[in-house]
């Protein structure tokens, strides 16, 4: 039976329902899923390139999942968008390296779209260029050092989920205020997906994320 294969970073923080790392997220969507962890690839190393990052282990994980029968592949970090070409070129099945692929989706054609990221300082145009998106796309991050950012990038087991939701919603409101022209938002960070509905309600904008990208891609392949 075909399945969704997800290449995971090595993490220990909370994975609420809706998070890509929570199997119940995909059970609710009736999507079979298997995970493969890249050891040593923690969030700070991927997002901020602390200590460097080797791409080969990610390529090997993608290839292993494809060889096991995965019909669709994804990753658990939106900053891997910069490696979309490299990851896709090593397997024959579709690879969704990042929710940033929403930026080139026909589903958002004609709409003005902004990006909400976990770290605006670490985010650079290589993420946008990596998926073929407009490098001038508006990007805004959660507050530096807030609960959401601190817990994810610090790989902390003690995340206050209510505060994390507030942090992401607050950043979404700031993005919509600074760029009132945007019609939709894409949540770069995979761990923002559980808060997508809250961001949409607060901002009045369409909000897309990695799980919604996976779901619509999976359905289109059926």
Domains of the chain: 3-98+211-221 (3.40.50.1860), 100-209 (3.40.50.1860)
- pLDDT recorded at residue 55: 92
When computed from its CA atoms, the radius of gyration of the chain, rounded to whole angstroms, is 16
Predicted local confidence at residue 201, as pLDDT: 98
As a whole number of angstroms, the distance between CA 221 and CA 193 comes to 22
* Predicted local confidence at residue 205, as pLDDT: 98
pLDDT reported for residue 222? 81
pLDDT per residue as tens, the chain (222 positions): 799 999 999 999 999 999 999 999 999 999 999 999 999 999 999 998 766 678 999 999 999 999 999 999 999 999 999 999 999 999 999 999 999 999 999 999 999 999 999 999 999 999 999 999 999 999 999 999 999 999 999 999 999 999 999 999 999 999 999 999 999 999 999 999 999 999 999 999 999 999 999 999 999 998
Give exposure, 203-218, as e/b (b: 16+ Cβ within 10 Å): bebbbbbbbbbbbebb
d(C-alpha 222, C-alpha 220), whole Å: 6
Two structure tokens written together for 66 = 């494809």
In this prediction the pTM is 0.96
Would you state the pLDDT for residue 60? 97
Provide φ and ψ at 135, rounded to 5°.
-65, -10
pLDDT at 49: 79
In the prediction, which pLDDT does 51 show?
63
DSSP code of residue 196: H
With beta carbons less than 8 A apart as the criterion, state whether 217 and 144 touch: no
Residue 170 is encoded by which pair of tokens? Answer: 């607050």
Report d(CA 113, CA 157) in Å as an integer: 33
Spatial distance between the Cα atoms of 205 and 202, rounded to a whole number of angstroms = 8
């Amino acid at each position: 039976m075909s399945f969704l294969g997800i290449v995971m970073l090595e993490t220990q923080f909370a994975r609420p329902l809706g998070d890509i790392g929570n199997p119940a997220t995909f059970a609710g969507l009736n999507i079979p899923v298997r995970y493969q962890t890249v050891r040593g690839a923690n969030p700070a190393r991927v997002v901020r390139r602390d200590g460097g990052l080797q791409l080969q282990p990610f390529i090997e994980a993608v290839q292993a999942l494809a060889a096991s029968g995965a019909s669709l592949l994804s990753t658990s970090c939106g900053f891997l968008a910069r490696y979309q070409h490299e990851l896709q070129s090593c397997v024959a099945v579709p690879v969704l390296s990042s929710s940033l692929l929403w930026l080139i989706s026909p589903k958002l054609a004609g709409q003005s779209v902004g990006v909400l990221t976990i770290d605006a300082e670490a985010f650079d145009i290589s993420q946008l260029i990596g998926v073929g998106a407009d490098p001038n796309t508006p990007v805004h991050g959660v507050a530096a050092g807030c609960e959401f950012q601190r817990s994810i990038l610090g790989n902390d087991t003690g995340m206050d989920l209510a505060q994390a939701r507030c942090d992401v919603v607050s950043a979404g409101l700031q993005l919509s205020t600074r760029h009132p022209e945007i019609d939709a938002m894409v949540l770069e960070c995979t761990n923002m997906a559980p808060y997508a509905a809250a961001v949409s309600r607060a901002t009045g904008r369409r909000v897309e994320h990695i799980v919604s990208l996976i779901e619509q891609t999976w359905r289109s392949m059926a």
